[in-house]
Amino acid sequence: MNTFTQRLDGYRQRVEQQLDRLICADHSLEPRLQLTMRHGLLNGGKRLRPALVYLSHRLCSDAPANDLTDRAAVAIECIHSYSLVHDDLPAMDNDDLRRGLPTCHIAFDEASAILAGDALQCLAFEHLSAPGDNVPAALQLRMLNLLAQASGMYGMVLGQAFDLSHVDKPLTLEQLQAMHAHKTGALISAAVELGALSAGVTDADKLEPLRHYSRLIGLAFQIQDDLLDIEGNTETLGKPQGSDLTQNKPTYPALLGLEGARTRLHQLHDEAVEILRTFGPTADDLIALTDYIVHRDH
Ligand code: GRG
């Protein structure tokens, strides 16, 4: 493992230890709810969004990650996991496998999966809003507001609703881009901004380049996801693997062609890295994560 992968692994462990403690048996949770929540949350995700929170904090500050950075990393992963649990439900994407394991509604049942998703969503806001020593309340409120906007009807839920209302309908490139900017991009952008806010960076002038960077990597993440899907690397039990370009789900490769999508991916990567380079050497790890997002194989 090189230094960057070790650091990434360190962030993964750091957030997983906190998630594990949050939903442990000591808290006298209803046993089935507890098991379903743990299944949805602690089943081997890459923890990219928490890594973005920590690395964005690192980009903006020499100080070690603080309580708010940790809370933001935990909260964003709770929201992400809830969205996957609900997205997998029969009423939405109807998936049997997630992260190589049966999805929550298969391992448990539909009602349990719905409740676990609901509870994970609330847990995100409970955890980020909890009182703590040395936590500036105004900053905490701003972070909560940002996470709520990115998750709800202006962000991820809007993207999901747009996606569901356009099943089997053709999308233009602009519509596809807008859909993903909300469905997956909003949470990725929130991760970057939450990390910066936890480092005390609050001026719009300073946040704008990071917002621009995060929009670019949100798009790049989705294009790579589409490319991996075509290459047959994603978990699509019961669905065609190595799918052709004309399936009913609109994708970047379907609209741009395989080579066009790859070219766009590399353009987005290069533009994103160019922004980070303006921050100097503290950007090195975030640049490495940006490389990873574009070159990941799962
Ligand atoms: C149900 C309100 C609601 C929203 C769901 C995020 C989402 C919206 C749906 C997920 C659909 C999907 C599989 C999109 C592709 C991009 C994506 C979010 C992949 C999963 O993220 P990773 O690769 O997952 O970071 P891990 O498992 O590593 O956490």
What is the reported pLDDT for 133? Answer: 82
Distance CA 184, CA 271 (A): 19
What is the reported pLDDT for 248? Answer: 64
Distance CA 200, CA 190 (A): 15
* Residue the block writes with tokens 């950007």: 283
Average pLDDT over residues 197-220: 96
> Is the complex ipTM higher than 0.90?
yes
| DSSP string across 61-73 | -SSPP-HHHHHHH
**Mean pLDDT (the chain, rounded):** 91
| pTM for this prediction | 0.93
First CA to last CA across the chain, in angstroms? 18
251-283 residue pLDDT tens: 899 899 999 999 999 999 999 999 999 999 889
What is the reported pLDDT for 233? Answer: 52
Ligand 1, atom nearest to 48 Cα = 25
**CA 262 distance to own-chain centroid:** 21
Please tell me the distance between residue 262's alpha carbon and the centre of ligand 1 in angstroms. 21
67-106 residue pLDDT tens: 999 999 999 999 999 999 999 999 999 999 999 999 999 9
Q: Please name which of 192, 197, 214 lies closest in space to residue 52, comparing C-alpha atoms.
A: 192
Please tell me the distance between residue 156's alpha carbon and the centre of ligand 1 in angstroms. 10
Specify the 3-state DSSP secondary structure of 287. Answer: helix
Instruction: Give the mutation target among 78, 81, 82, 84 for probing the ligand 1 site: most ligand atoms within 8 A of CB.
Output: 84
Ligand 1, atom nearest to 98 Cα = 27
Domain ranges of the chain: 3-295
Specify the long-range contacts of residues 176-184, CB closer than 8 Å, at least 24 apart: 176/250, 176/251, 176/252, 176/255, 177/219, 180/218, 180/219, 180/222, 181/215, 181/218, 181/219, 182/154, 182/155, 182/156, 182/158, 183/156, 183/159, 184/156, 184/159, 184/218, 184/221, 184/222, 184/225
What is the reported pLDDT for 296? Answer: 83
Please tell me the distance between residue 27's alpha carbon and the centre of ligand 1 in angstroms. 28
Class of domain 3-295: mainly alpha
Pocket flag, ligand 1, residue 45 (CB < 6 Å) = yes
Give the DSSP H/E element, type plus range, for residue 122. helix 110-129
Distance CA 290, CA 48 (A): 10
134-169 residue pLDDT tens: 889 999 999 999 999 999 999 999 999 999 999 888
228-251 residue pLDDT tens: 988 875 444 334 433 434 456 788
Percent of the chain topping pLDDT 70 = 94
pLDDT at 65 exceeding the cut of 70: yes
Q: Record the tokens describing residue 213, joined without a space.
A: 């960077």
